[in-house]
Structure 1
Amino acid sequence: MLTSIIIPTYNRLPLLQEAIYSIRSSTPEAYELIVVDNGSTDGTIEFLREQHITFVGLPGNQGFPAACNWGLRLARGEQLLLLNNDVLVAPGWLGKLRQALLSSKQIGITGPMSNFVSGRQQIEMRGNYTEMAERLGAEAAGNYEEVNRLVGFCLLFSRELMDRIGLLDERFSPGHYEDDDYCYRARQAGYRLLMVKDTFVYHHGSASFKQEGQDAVERLLARNRKLFSDKWGVDPQQFI
């Protein structure tokens, strides 16, 4: 069973390199890697060519939802995984997320615990990321919790779900709340979401958005929260 790992990126090449190295060293399962570059100017394209990684090079920054959608259109896998460019994964990460996804036909999306994430997936960092992954693997083996939303820094779902509810909603570009929207649509279609409590993915945190400045990020958050509320008639904060 092939999993398509889709990574949108915008500059911050060293973080992307670390993420790809961690994937390659910690993922024995069958996967393909697709990187969607949002017009980086730091040598990202050259690196991807050197590493023979499948990529889409966009002429400018089209944002996270649009970049994800480009990758989803190219993906060949039965399972699809959206992953930020500023993460580190440890052995067992994909296998555990897949196991949770396949635990019931009703499961639509799975996501891991992390050190930097909003909502219930947040967990205190103790030790380095591999030690955290080992600790959770031992303390919470096979432990899942149903939640109302999962954060888009690492989302695993099936092609069946995507075929049913579609791609990410690009009205939320350049990003924020497109993951809340996708989770809401999945639940509206009858799927359940699982937080995989025995899996840890380290997240540096909003690497691309940090380049825009805190004031700009806060304005974007407010704008997209209103977009969600206008679209669905509910406040997305109630699902956190």
Structure 2
Amino acid sequence: MTEKNDNNRQLFSILIPTWNNLEFLKVCVDSIRKNSTYSHQIIIHVNDGSDGTRQWVAEQGLDYTATDGNVGVCLAMNMMRSKVKTDYILFINDDMYALPGWDAALYDEIKRQPDNRFFLSATTIQPHTPNKAVINADYGDTIQTFREADLLREYMSYEAPDWLGSTLPPNIVHRDIWDLVGGYSVELSPGMYSDPDFTAKLWLCGIRRMKGVSASRVYHFETKSTTRIRKNMGQMQFLLKWGMTNGTFRRLFTHNGSPYSETLAAAMPTKAKLRGELIRCRMKALYWLMTKDFGPAWKAWEKF
């Protein structure tokens, strides 16, 4: 169903970091190719690639970057930025399946924006993790149990409004906005809490139109790489960097998962409410600093 863009121009640059997850990557790329309305540039970052990923990506003629080891999401995303050829940078996980019309719905929303100061997300369908901003429905969490035909028949039958607080992939920004905030924060490598950190940087730069688009839908098999890595202490890093927890930021500033409202999107928390939350966050930061083992936070430096 791919539609040729004007002058055969690619519309989005789709960034996909992957780490020895070839069977899911193949499904992801195939879904983009067969279920997209427009033509897009697909860019892969191959972490390690000892499962044959690098060879497969090259055979497919896809743009890619690569590292011999797993550098995680943040550095991978910033490396892929050097390959971007379009105006729009879209991040999607390698364990996601793009559903028909996913890109047309995002582009329709982009065309309604008055300028490029937006941050949009597709709406995710996933089998396990509950979240106000996702649709919980189980169509399998492995390639072998994936019920693709049922999903394609039923994916638009779930009612969900457009929602506030775009954070999770698939998400899309204009490349000028990406560059304004400096991409992803490598201090959060391999990537836990890098999504809300990116959102916080956008908010700090004045981006308020953070919208989840209900008509754009993808299926997420969930955490097929994150269960294999040594995680950074992202929750604590976010708190120490921004002076508040991720939960406080998403609840008070991005109103995550609430039905979309222009008024609410622009609303600031009251000083009294913010003061109370920040006092609680400072107490939590102090508790963590006094009680947590910082050993895992230094593991990234051992190779040096």
Give the shorter-chain TM-score range. Answer: 0.7 to 0.9
Aligned-residue CA RMSD (Å): 2.0
> How many aligned residue pairs are there?
227
Q: Distance in 1 between matches of 2:213 and 2:245?
A: 25
User: Aligned runs of 1:1-240 on 2, under 5 Å?
Assistant: 2-104=11-113, 105=115, 107-116=117-126, 119-125=131-137, 128-136=150-158, 139=159, 144-147=162-165, 149-151=166-168, 153-191=169-207, 192-212=209-229, 216-217=230-231, 220=232, 223-238=233-248, 239=250
Query: Is the CA contact (8 Å cut-off) linking 1:225 and 1:236 kept in structure 2?
Result: yes
- Kindly state the Cα deviation for residue 53 of structure 1 after the two structures are TM-superposed: 1.1
Q: Distance in 2 between matches of 1:65 and 1:118?
A: 25
What SS is found at the alignment partner of 1:134? coil
- Kindly state the Cα deviation for residue 45 of structure 1 after the two structures are TM-superposed: 1.0
**Letter paired with 1:130:** L
| 1:67-117 per-position Cα deviation (integer Å, ceiling 9, x unaligned) | 111111210110010111111011100111222233222652111222336
Query: Is the CA contact (8 Å cut-off) linking 1:8 and 1:64 kept in structure 2?
Result: yes
Query: Is the CA contact (8 Å cut-off) linking 2:133 and 2:163 kept in structure 1?
Result: no
- Kindly state the Cα deviation for residue 64 of structure 1 after the two structures are TM-superposed: 0.6
- Kindly state the Cα deviation for residue 133 of structure 1 after the two structures are TM-superposed: 3.3
| 1:105-153 per-position Cα deviation (integer Å, ceiling 9, x unaligned) | 26521112223366432212176432343325xx56xx53332x411x3
What SS is found at the alignment partner of 1:22? helix
Q: TM-score, normalised by structure 2?
A: 0.69
Q: Distance in 2 between matches of 1:28 and 1:176?
A: 32
What SS is found at the alignment partner of 2:15? strand
Larger mean Cα displacement after TM superposition, 123-132 or 50-59: 123-132
What SS is found at the alignment partner of 1:115? strand
| Relative contact order higher in (CA < 8 Å, ≥ 6 apart) | 1
**Letter paired with 2:12:** T
Query: Is the CA contact (8 Å cut-off) linking 1:125 and 1:132 kept in structure 2?
Result: no
What SS is found at the alignment partner of 2:212? strand
Q: TM-score, normalised by structure 1?
A: 0.87
Identity of matched residues, %: 24
Q: Distance in 2 between matches of 1:203 and 1:43?
A: 23
Runs of at least 5 residues in structure 1 that lack an aligned partner in the other structure: none
**Which structure has the larger Rg over C-alpha atoms?**
2
